[in-house]
Structure 1
Amino acid sequence: MSAAAFPRAALFDLDGTLLDSAPDMLATANRMRASRGIGAMTLEALRPHVSKGARAMLAAAFPDIAQEPREAMVPEFLAVYQEELGRHSVLFDGVADMLAALERAGSVWGIVTNKPEYLARDILPQLQWQTRCAVLIGGDTLAEKKPHPLPLQVAAERIGIDIAACVYVGDDERDIQSARAAGMSSIAALWGYRQAHEEPAQWQADVMVELPEILIEPAAWPVVQRPVGAT
């Protein structure tokens, strides 16, 4: 029997999986609320909506504004968020050690997010990831975004590793749907952003993991395709 091993490539969602960016999002929402004479909202109120994107966060921040005028607020949200980017966010505990463990094992890792690529790319130098992250696919990089399989398919193609040898890690059901549609193994990151009604057990991820530090051990990862001749 072969020993447990890390996958050849690990692909990650960004917000809610690698990066606790909710504080940046909160600062953004509260700047927009303040400019409209509305008091600040709490992190607890916004946090469950972060992985759903700007529109979901605007709905949480401005529940009394109708959908159409809220839609018009998306560019403002993104512009303010770009100014707050990285000012308050931190890596989830254990993420730095997990990525280092992957690198020591010779695995590559990358990011596939629905965040606009220019915003995701701006994060990399702040985290000193610009030479470590093997691939970055944003929500506007391609014609489709998650839960469509295309972002994961293109990410695997760009790093030159077969989809069957990759694992995708994400905290939202769309992440798992994208991986399943692409034929890629998946991990549901239970430490991320989730609304009260969501049941990760129903997402059909290959593995559910409570904390990033668990993924420091290769045995915690799904068993995936190994290179020819590997033991």
Structure 2
Amino acid sequence: MLALSFVTGTEPGKWFERFRERTTHGELLATGSDDPLTELLDARATLTLLRLPEARLTDELRRDLHVVTLYSETPGIALPKDSELTLLDRLTPADIDGEIIHYDGTDATAVRDALPVVAANVGVVIAPRPLLKVLSRKQIEHREYDSPDHRPTEIALVWRRADDSEAIQDFVGIAKGRTVNSSRQAAPKRSAREKALAKQARRGDAPPKRAGRGGGRRRR
């Protein structure tokens, strides 16, 4: 069984469906978490979907882990629904000068705790936009936040090197966009005769007969 913990703000459901449809590795146990790294380190998960940067993911710890980056997230800002700032599609630090910033970071639990205050029409929260999208309530809107101090975050699959398996590699391949017809290994090169036989098989032709060593005897 493959146990996967995915960080809040990611929506990997389509990968789960493809893994179950395309492989025969058995059950996939997938759970959302505000802190999937702890579940990996505690061996409650064999594979995790993390948000980077992650301060606890030190160089020393990385030596025991595989880390495969999948995609980037745009920085975002959560605003009260009635705020005039919602008239803008993208905000900058100058736009929120004087606003109370209740939280600025990537911790899902902290974002979850700060958003109710924004919903009460007070201040803003700065966090990865996909995370804000998942956690925002009806009284909150979110916009892209363009600031030189806020780089895009990254979503990565992380697992222990000691736990590496065909099941994990197949899931990683699906997450990276591998199709049902693709393979992790390059197809072996075929000889000219093998290519000709394959072409004839596709057309339904019979394979060519090979002449005998001495040739046939002519009839008079």
Q: Compute the TM-score of the two structures, normalised by the length of structure 1.
A: 0.24
Bigger CA radius of gyration = 2
Say which structure is richer in helix. Answer: 1
Q: Compute the TM-score of the two structures, normalised by the length of structure 2.
A: 0.25
